[in-house]
A = this chain, B = another copy of it.
Amino acid sequence: MPRSEVRVALLGVGTVGSQVARILAVHGNRLSRLIGARLRLIGIACRRPADVSDQWIDKSLLTDDPASLCPQADVVIEVMGGLEPARSLMMSAFENGASVVTANKALLSRDLKSLQQAAYDHHADLYYEAAVAGTIPVVRVLRESLAADQIISISGIVNGTTNYILDQMALKGISFDQALAQAQEQGYAEADPSADIDGYDSAAKAAIMACLAFGQEIKLDDVDVEGIRSVSQADVAAAAARGEVIRLLASISRDKPGSKNGSDCYTPGSSFPLHVSVKPVTLPKDHELAGIHGSYNAVAIKARYAGDLMLTGLGAGGEPTASAVVSDLITVAGNKVSGVVSPPIPLTSLSGSDCSAEISAKNYGQGV
């Protein structure tokens, strides 16, 4: 019997969750037509239902008990953040056969493999476009568009708050503290900005991208992290005098130790270790990533066949993040209607199982 509806539970109704609810309220009919079944929001969990005042939210759907929603849902949207209870709720969703859409980079960067395994074991999907680089569709590009290719390296600006601060320091000649205060006033930085400015938010995103791009389990702890707290106005001014700008760069490459340019020394099937780092770096003003201003994000991908790709977009914000969440919802809800799941990303140590083919292909002598 064809499925007539897909039941959706929304966990969290903060900046992102509220906008997810709004998109579902405004575009529910159009989105239901896209998936071929009615998308039905069955409940919205949050800490204090009485405080929710958004007009587009049906108050009868609110509950302070997220665990009660998971067993009834076909898809659980987790936008509450944090490690627990988010992880337990996701696991509960999978155990009930529900798919999960999440923006939770902190959790995924610690536990992607086991969450993915739980989804797989229960014939469910785990999607997380909104966890990495805001609206930039880098998860789908790595997972699908470059599925046939081989990634050589990724570098990017994946935290809007720190980019805004560095950009303002360069444009206005202000100190780090002044720029941070300004970011907080503008709503770009949290009251406790440490996850952003100490580089851990970027590191979580880098770890997830590394998993996707290289099929190797990389966790937050594997990332070499340095934030921008010690970047002074004198540093920024000195860089400017040399025609350079400072950017907080996330980098993933199979560097030869000591190499200045990882991509040059990449050889297919090589055993150079994967190196994932987040560091403030100086870039020449005409570098493609030097031109990323304000709270924008950018991800530059170098692939063996596709060459150089660059994706730029808003790094954060309720509406942009919600757009990514709901696009994932469309995919996993469509899968529910079809009764299929997307293949999980292979996440093992790189086995070199195609190395023999790689080596024989070298004999073709065409830049393999």
State whether B22 touches A147 (Cβ < 8 A).
no
CA of A313 to CA of B146, assembled, Å = 13
Q: Per-position contact with B for A319-344: 1 when CB-CB < 8 Å, else 0?
A: 11011101101110010001110010
With A27-B150, A307-B319 known, 12 other A-B pairs at CB within 8 A are A23-B305, A34-B343, A55-B364, A137-B137, A145-B327, A147-B327, A147-B331, A303-B323, A307-B313, A308-B312, A310-B311, A338-B338
State whether A147 touches B34 (Cβ < 8 A).
yes
State whether B327 touches A317 (Cβ < 8 A).
no
Q: Which residues of A contact B (CB under 8 A)?
A: 19, 22-23, 25-31, 33-36, 55-56, 129, 135-137, 140-141, 144-150, 288, 291, 303, 305-314, 317, 319-320, 322-324, 326-327, 329-331, 334, 338-340, 343, 346, 353-354, 357-358, 361, 363-364, 366-368
CA of A338 to CA of B341, assembled, Å = 9
State whether B310 touches A306 (Cβ < 8 A).
no
State whether B33 touches A346 (Cβ < 8 A).
yes
Q: Nearest chain B CB to A125's CB is how many angstroms away? A: 12
CA of A25 to CA of B364, assembled, Å = 11
CA of A34 to CA of B144, assembled, Å = 11
Show 24 residue pairs from A and B whose CB-CB distance is below 8 angstroms, ordered by the A residue: A22-B361, A23-B305, A27-B148, A27-B354, A29-B353, A30-B354, A36-B343, A135-B306, A137-B137, A146-B323, A148-B323, A149-B326, A305-B322, A305-B323, A306-B314, A307-B313, A307-B314, A308-B314, A309-B312, A310-B310, A311-B311, A334-B343, A338-B338, A339-B340
Enumerate chain B residues within 8 angstroms of A366, measured Cβ to Cβ: 22
CA of A343 to CA of B305, assembled, Å = 28
State whether B146 touches A331 (Cβ < 8 A).
no
Count of identical protomers in the assembly: 2
Q: Using known A-B contacts A19-B305, A26-B368, determine if residue A330 contacts B147 with beta carbons closer than 8 Å.
A: yes
State whether B306 touches A364 (Cβ < 8 A).
no
Q: Nearest chain B CB to A200's CB is how many angstroms away? A: 25
CA of A311 to CA of B140, assembled, Å = 14
State whether A313 touches B323 (Cβ < 8 A).
no
CA of A298 to CA of B312, assembled, Å = 11
Most B-side CB within 10 Å, residue of A27, A147, A322, A331: A147
Q: Using known A-B contacts A34-B343, A141-B137, determine if residue A324 contacts B311 with beta carbons closer than 8 Å.
A: no
Q: Nearest chain B CB to A58's CB is how many angstroms away? A: 14
State whether A361 touches B56 (Cβ < 8 A).
yes
Partner of A145, one of B140, B291, B340: B140
Q: Nearest chain B CB to A322's CB is how many angstroms away? A: 6
Q: Nearest chain B CB to A212's CB is how many angstroms away? A: 13
